[in-house]
Structure 1
């Protein structure tokens, strides 16, 4: 009898919980997350029954990006939420993807979830350790964000994604307010909403108000 998707999800989650403990990550609702220095990492691992793959995506962001993001949107109450909210919250800064892997599965029945997930989490833990050791400050971070964005646009030149929010919040953290205001005006002139709208105002309109205060 064919294994059900719900059973696959259960086995993946059980394996993730065990791996999380071994590498000092946390587990919540099907994903792993941890804070390393000023960086926040989170991982989604899912089993895709019909195409027989175990899919992994590792993301990262500067931890305080969310705090400034919430200040702009007047959502300071989110700062009191659990650490997992930085990964799973609807109103959060998106992370940058830094590693992806699709593991082919010949047959789900008999597949060693524990061993495969453990090996995968070990790999992503090493990757995150390496990145955390290289990004020492906000300047290092934005340089790395730009590098990741260049790699993305090289592979997908027609992408509509941009890193203007990351650039803006970096300027705010560095107290470069004049430059931040100029960037907001540029984004508004392009009719860029920033991907978020609250109470009839988009992200950059709210950022404009925030920078006046």
Structure 2
């Protein structure tokens, strides 16, 4: 079996097994919504070494909607669910599982992919047992070594905690933390400040 054939078989099997167990599939990732949260898991494979990388994350569904209101892209809310994983402008998912391993049988990967599924499903269940709402989510991401500042700002705005959102923006600028998004001459911080002014005037 060629490297290209192994990689094609791997993703074909991912698609079949995950779709049969309640996940949706697109290109190189699987995704689903559960209890108002969006979960997505991306996969990559090095067919030469049979190495596989697994990267699972999640976020409250509402945060993308608020983000698109802030950035004046409300039509994005109408896009398919997968858009929340691969849109050019969106809230990043918070990583909760990230690992790699070597496939023992790349020509018959179903058994090992089932093991991936079970590990992912268990992590999703564990996460939903501890993170029930956007407040829990905010507490979760704020403790991380590399906080998702756009998510923190957006969550504060969703909770109508506008002063806390502005304080976070000021901190990011002071620390020269780039928002990662540009909208012409504005960045996300500018758009968030503009949004706050608009809804509090």
TM-score normalised by length of structure 1: 0.85
The answer to whether the 8 Å contact 1:188/1:205 transfers is no
CA offsets per residue over residues 8-50 of structure 1, 9 Å max, x none? 3321221112222332111111210011112111111222123
CA distance in 2, matches of 1:146, 1:114: 37
The answer to whether the 8 Å contact 2:56/2:120 transfers is yes
Q: CA deviation at 1:106?
A: 5.0
Partner SS, residue 132 of structure 2: coil
For 1:124, the equivalent position in structure 2 comes to 120
**Structure 1 unmatched runs, 5+:** 154-160
For 1:71, the equivalent position in structure 2 comes to 69
Is 1:62 aligned to residue 60 of structure 2? Answer: yes
After superposition, residues 172-187 of structure 1 pair within 5 angstroms as: 172-187=157-172
CA distance in 1, matches of 2:105, 2:126: 34
Partner SS, residue 188 of structure 1: helix
**Structure 2 unmatched runs, 5+:** none
TM-score normalised by length of structure 2: 0.90
CA distance in 1, matches of 2:142, 2:160: 20
CA distance in 2, matches of 1:55, 1:185: 36
CA distance in 1, matches of 2:174, 2:195: 18
Count residues with an aligned counterpart: 198
For 1:137, the equivalent position in structure 2 comes to 133
For 1:86, the equivalent position in structure 2 comes to 84
